């Protein structure tokens, strides 16, 4: 097994998330907003879709050496699941579900003559003897077969859950939010079965300039988006929480210093800071090639530093919110009573201030996630994001920029990146709205 830096941080993030969820469940004042989120069909359907994305990203974060390949290259569990798509590449562009290439070329015939025509793909639709007559029926049959298997699996699970004899669980299964979860799972599982069933015979989203399957690229890009959105948060939160609470509680020169730091940081254009930092990382890796003897390690290190840079430049907004909230909390009666009784400041911060600002932290984390995913796409588009060898939606959009200018237009790379990124960001935003409605005290009082 191979553990990259980002892999280790993802494992740490999973453990931290589980511990944090357990902590929230034990807090009495957190149970009401959590129950409100659980009762929202939109929130639970969005959370289900986010967890499906997270599962794909986690599968792509478990790396090991592939003994079957030359040079024992590192692969992930997702690569194993997508082995057919990964290995069945074409020469160049091909449209979704195509059996012929996207551009004409000179073909050598059996009699020695040549013909200017569209070549047959090496793998896409290679099982068809006569594509002109067999293609439509074959695509329909395989789509129906894949969808039937996925739908059948979900219907079996649904019937088992629906027939649960325990009264409390039966009521839970049949609630509106549970129905939304089942509907989302049904669509995701049926869709995945259908797409993977078709991918064994066709390139369902076409291929790119070097003949790599676009559907495989899109699935691999999920991990990059999740890493940017989650690991950046892991870097940002300690800085924002510590500095924000300290500035609001101690005031005086501590507040002045912290305000000077984040005001100065905000005055520097973030794009220039990110570009300069990425350039420094590239120079360091070029001057120390012995430490980065693998393309995967180099790309992972650049992704890690991009998360660090984004975290360092994005903590100031949350820090300001926490400072303002702490300024209000330090004047509350229970905090003044603790100070009068001689409780140490560190204990007051940990026991009285931190738990009462967690709703702000939770809201900010969920809201910032989607903006960070979009930031990766923008940064990669202007070539200061992740490494060009890393699969990401930003790199797909960047390469599609040139493809859209050719004739005929190669539209599927841009469309695939847009659809998957749109689904992830939409689910994150819908869930963020539900979290904000549940945890925001002003909204709770209004309702």
- Out of 184, 212, 240, pick the residue that ends a domain: 212
Quick one: pLDDT band at residue 171, thresholds 50, 70, 90? low
Residue 339 lies in a domain: yes
Domain annotation covers residue 138: yes
- Judge whether 79 lies within some domain: no
Asked if residue 216 has pLDDT above 90, the reply is: yes
Q: Note the pTM of the prediction, 2 decimals.
A: 0.86
Structural domain includes residue 55: no
Does residue 72 lie within any of the structural domains? no
Q: Are residues 139 and 258 in the same domain?
A: no
Q: What is the pLDDT of residue 72?
A: 62
What pLDDT is recorded for position 219?
93
- For residue 425, give the nearest of 183, 226, 179, 190 by alpha carbon: 226
The reply to whether 388 falls in a domain is: yes
Main-chain phi, psi angles of 183, to 5 degrees: -65, -45
Q: Has residue 307 got a pLDDT over 60?
A: yes
Band of the pLDDT at 294, cuts 50, 70, 90? confident
Least confident of 17-21, 27-31, 48-52, 324-328: 27-31
Residues 296, 398 within the same domain: yes
416 Cβ neighbours under 8 A, 6+ residues apart: 205, 214, 215, 217, 218, 396
176 and 133 within one domain: yes
Q: Which of 389, 210, 214, 385 is nearest to 305 (CA)?
A: 385
In this prediction, residues 179-199 reach a mean pLDDT of: 90
Helices (H), 205-341: 214-250, 252-267, 270-287, 295-314, 316-329, 333-340
Does 411 have pLDDT greater than 90? no
- Residue 101 belongs to domain spanning: 92-125+201-212
Name, in order, each residue with C-beta under 8 angstroms of 315's C-beta and a sequence gap of 6 or more: 235, 236, 237, 239, 240, 243, 262
Residues 310 and 174 both lie in one domain:
no
Residue 66 lies in a domain: no
- Together in a domain, 168 and 312: no
Q: What are phi and psi of 3, to 5 degrees?
A: -115, 110
Instruction: Evaluate if residue 441 carries a pLDDT over 60.
Output: no
**Is pLDDT at 443 greater than 70 in this prediction?**
no
The reported pLDDT for the residue numbered 277 is 83
Instruction: Clarify whether residues 143 and 248 are in a common domain.
Output: no
pLDDT recorded at residue 67: 65
Query: Given pLDDT bands bounded at 50, 70 and 90, which one contains residue 166?
Result: low
Please state the rounded mean pLDDT for residues 89-94. Answer: 86
pLDDT of residue 168: 58
pLDDT at 158 over 80: no
Between 440 and 373, the more confident residue is 373
Please check the confidence at residue 170 and state whether its pLDDT lies above 90.
Answer: no
**377 and 260 in a common domain:** yes
Query: What are the b/e assignments for 370-402, b being 16+ CB within 10 Å?
Result: bebbbbbbebbbeebbbbeebbbbbbbbbbbee
Give the model's confidence band at 215: pLDDT under 50 very low, under 70 low, under 90 confident, else very high. very high
User: Do residues 137 and 105 share a domain?
Assistant: no
pLDDT band of residue 68 (cuts 50, 70, 90) is low
313 and 228, same structural domain? yes
Residue 376's domain is classified under what CATH number?
1.10.3720
Whether 446 has a pLDDT exceeding 60, the answer reads no
pLDDT above 90: residue 409: no
Q: Are 9 and 234 in contact (CB under 8 A)?
A: yes
Task: Provide, rounded to the nearest whole percent, the portion of the chain with pLDDT above 90.
Answer: 19
Residue 243 in this model has a pLDDT that exceeds 90: yes
Residues 287 and 371 in one domain: yes
- Reported residue count of the chain is 447
Name the domain count of the chain.
Answer: 3
Are residues 271 and 305 both part of a single domain?
yes
Specify if 64 maps to a domain.
no
Q: Are residues 140 and 117 in the same domain?
A: no
Report whether 109 contacts 99 (CB < 8 A): no
- Greater pLDDT, 200 or 400: 200
């Amino acid at each position: 097994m191979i553990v990259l830096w980002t892999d280790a941080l993802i494992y740490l993030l999973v453990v931290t998330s589980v511990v944090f969820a357990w902590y929230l469940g034990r807090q009495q004042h957190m149970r009401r907003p959590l129950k409100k989120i659980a009762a929202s069909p939109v929130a639970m359907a969005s959370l289900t879709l986010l967890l499906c994305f997270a599962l794909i990203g986690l599968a792509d974060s478990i790396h090991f050496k592939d003994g079957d390949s030359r040079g024992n290259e590192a692969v992930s569990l997702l690569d194993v699941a997508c082995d057919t798509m990964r290995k069945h590449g074409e020469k160049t562009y091909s449209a979704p579900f195509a059996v012929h290439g996207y551009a004409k070329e000179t073909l050598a015939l059996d009699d020695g003559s040549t013909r200017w025509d569209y070549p047959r793909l090496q793998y896409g639709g290679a099982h068809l003897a006569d594509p002109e007559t067999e293609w439509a029926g074959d695509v329909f049959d395989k789509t129906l077969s894949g969808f039937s298997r996925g739908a059948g699996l979900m219907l079996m699970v649904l019937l088992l859950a629906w027939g649960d004899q325990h009264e409390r669980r039966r009521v839970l299964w049949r609630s509106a939010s549970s129905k939304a979860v089942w509907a989302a799972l049904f669509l995701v599982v049926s869709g995945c079965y259908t797409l993977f069933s078709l991918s064994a015979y066709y390139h369902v989203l076409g291929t790119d300039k070097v003949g790599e399957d676009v559907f495989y690229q899109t699935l691999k890009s999920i991990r990059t988006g999740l890493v940017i959105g989650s690991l950046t948060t892991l870097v940002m939160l300690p800085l924002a929480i510590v500095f924000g609470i300290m500035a609001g509680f101690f005031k005086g020169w501590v507040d002045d210093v912290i305000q000077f730091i984040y005001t100065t940081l905000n005055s520097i254009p973030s794009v220039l800071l990110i570009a300069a930092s990425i350039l420094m990382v590239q120079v360091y890796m070029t001057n120390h090639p012995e430490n980065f003897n693998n393309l995967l390690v180099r790309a992972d290190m650049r992704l890690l530093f991009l998360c660090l840079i984004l975290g360092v430049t994005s903590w100031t907004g949350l820090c300001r919110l926490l400072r303002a909230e702490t300024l209000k909390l330090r004047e509350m009666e229970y905090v003044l009573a603790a100070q009068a009784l001689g409780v140490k400041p560190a204990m007051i911060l940990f026991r009285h201030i931190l738990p009462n600002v967690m709703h702000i932290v939770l809201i900010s984390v969920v809201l910032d996630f989607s903006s960070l995913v979009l930031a990766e796409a923008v940064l990669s588009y202007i070539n200061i994001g992740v490494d060009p060898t890393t699969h990401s939606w930003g790199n797909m959009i960047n390469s599609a920029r040139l493809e859209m200018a050719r004739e005929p237009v190669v539209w599927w790379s841009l469309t695939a990146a847009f659809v998957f990124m749109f689904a992830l960001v939409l689910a994150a935003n819908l869930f963020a709205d539900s979290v904000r409605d549940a945890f925001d005290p002003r909204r709770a009082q209004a309702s």
